[in-house]
Structure 1
Amino acid sequence: MALQWTILAYVVAAEAAIVILLTLPSPRLVKSRLVSLVSLILQPALFIIPFAGFQLLDIYWKNEHRLMCTSEVCTAAERDRYEKSIYKAQRNVVLCAGACLLYWSVYRICKYHKDIESLEEVEKRYKEQ
């Protein structure tokens, strides 16, 4: 199970790095090449959305079927274990939401950049006429 969360964490880190690279100011040629490269990667990287969704469903199922340790019968070790599992579940929910949000951000940044390029081309054609 830890391998899935490790993969998701690396994907989120890569998406964050891509967002930073796309939003940093850079020369037009470098920016257009970077956007075209990222656009090629976007469709295969779409797997992250259903993967994160499945992980969210897994967290929900485990939360619904988790043994509660709130009574006086529980030992301190059992309470610590219960609280640790709750914190890990919360962290993983944030990780899944971050993966989806960052993918959407990368997609929108690339789309906006392509729209701006096409509008600049239209403006250039109108100026030439």
Structure 2
Amino acid sequence: MSTLKELRRPVAATIRLTVPAGGARPAPPVGPALGQYRLNLMAFCKDFNARTQKYKSDTPMAVTITAFKDNTFEFTVKTPSVTWYLKKAAGVESGSGRPGHVTTSTLSLRHVFEIAKGYEHLVR
């Protein structure tokens, strides 16, 4: 039987990146972030791109990579933020500099419904 200590691998670092869906390449920001922990860049890029292929290529995906001291890694990919969807639907690059005072754009109820419909699979 293995003990709990044998099952837990020592963690070297936790790396948080934002990478475009299907756009992971061994260039910055992915290369330098993973290279300093001697992780397999090509394995990460291949796995990340496979997991995010259902999203459009310009969609920013938040990824959390756990690097272990034996040069292995695990990663989780989070869905795009609601803020990104709202800005994309409104057609603006950034929100208001003075929220509550200046309105940058408005959205129809249909836009909000479509965004919520995309997230309904997470609620179930």
TM-score normalised per structure 2: 0.23
Q: Larger Cα Rg: Structure 1 or Structure 2?
A: 1
Q: Hey, which of these two has a bigger chunk of helix by percent?
A: 1
Where relative contact order (Cα < 8 A, 6+ residues apart) is larger, the structure is 1
TM-score normalised per structure 1: 0.23
